[in-house]
Amino acid sequence: MNDPLVPDGVTVRRDLVHTRVPGYRPLSLDLYLPDDGARAVCVYAHGGGWRMGSRREGPGPLSPTSRRLFARMAARGLAVASVDYRLSGEARFPAQREDVEAGIRWLSSEDASGVAGLPLVTFGVSAGGQLAGLCGLNPSLPVRAVALWYAVSDLPAVPDDIAAAGGEADRGPGSREALLLGAPAAQMPELARQASVLHQVHRNAPPFLLLHGDRDRLVPAAQSARLHTALRAAGADTTLELVPGYDHMFVGMPAAELEALVDRTTDFLLSRLGTGPVNVPMSSAATAAAAVTASTTGTERDKP
């Protein structure tokens, strides 16, 4: 069935199961492939405060048509794998990070994915930015570049940053961060640091692009500014761009402006691959991906 949000030249493979954790629902991804061949594959992690959201939701303001932005990225030569992960009502951290890592490993090693062997990058927004950033800083994963939009990067500092930005800080057990960790960050400082991109920065970090609205009160721009400073101190290639006049998720941003940011992000990721173009023609990618169905086994992990 044709998707009116996907232009000619892009093929979508939906509901590919990338991992199965005993006791939980199978976790799937949707794969957007350029018919002319992809230079790289981008693993995308959605936002939603770790409590909601799905792989069908793209970056920027929530919209039933936001997945069109994945197709836009693919049309520029970057395959996109939008992955699901367990939400905080299903499992505590580090389950979410492990799920995105499992998706990366499946794409990197599973021939049926259609993109095995391509350079790999990550992209995440808000809570998904935390996951994309952590995966990008995992030395065991082959991530070439990372793009984060209005990402949570320093969990212990979130309440203070929100208060400083004029928002309503939630330090209690019902906060987004507490539901992720199992208790407020102040009560679990070591786990909160492990869950913070800021505290995982190292000298071999890949290039980072950080976009953040300068009026964000849910995840204040101080989070990205602090991460940018840490990456720069470590000697990493890091770019911070504050988007003037916008709150969280770039609410109210015109479509053309949002699409320009998507193009900016795509071009950044493709420009930081570190090697010449690696092309997997759609003729072979489609043949492999067509063998994958919603019942694909994917990777099975022994424990949550």
121: β partners: 42
Per-domain residue ranges of the chain: 10-154+203-298
Q: What is the DSSP string of 41-69?
A: EEEEE--STTTS--TT--SSS--TTTTHH
Instruction: Enter the DSSP assignment of 179.
Output: H
* Count of Cβ atoms closer than 10 Å to residue 141 Cβ: 18
List, for the chain, all residue ranges whose pLDDT scores fall below the cut of 70: 1, 112, 275-304
- pLDDT tens digits for range 63-122: 888 889 999 999 999 999 999 999 999 999 999 999 999 999 999 987 767 899 999 999
Q: Percentage of residues in the chain with pLDDT exceeding 70? A: 89
Going 94 to 125 to 25 to 98, the CA torsion angle's sign is negative
Q: Give residue 3's pLDDT.
A: 84
- Strand order of the β-sheet with 78-83 is 238-243, 208-213, 143-149, 120-125, 40-45, 78-83, 27-34, 10-20, 299-300
> Could you tell me whether strands 208-213 and 143-149 are parallel, antiparallel, or unpaired per DSSP bridges?
parallel
Q: How far is CA 55 from the centre of its chain?
A: 10
How far is 272 from 269, CA to CA, in rounded Å?
A: 5
Give phi and psi for 244, each to the nearest 5: -70, 135
Residue 296 has a pLDDT of 36
Model pLDDT, residue 257: 97
* pLDDT tens per residue, range 247-264: 999 999 999 999 999 999
Compute the 3-state secondary structure of the chain and give helix, strand, coil in percent, each to the nearest 5: 35, 20, 45
Locus of tokens 């995966």: 135
Exposure string (b/e) for 204-241, b if CB count within 10 Å is 16 or more?
Answer: ebbbbbbbbbebbbbbbbbbbbbbbebbeeeebebbbe
What pLDDT sits at residue 1?
A: 55
DSSP count for the chain of H helices, then E strands: 9, 9
Rounded to two decimals, what is the model's pTM?
A: 0.90
What pLDDT shows up at residue 215?
98
The dotted CATH code for 10-154+203-298 is 3.40.50.1820
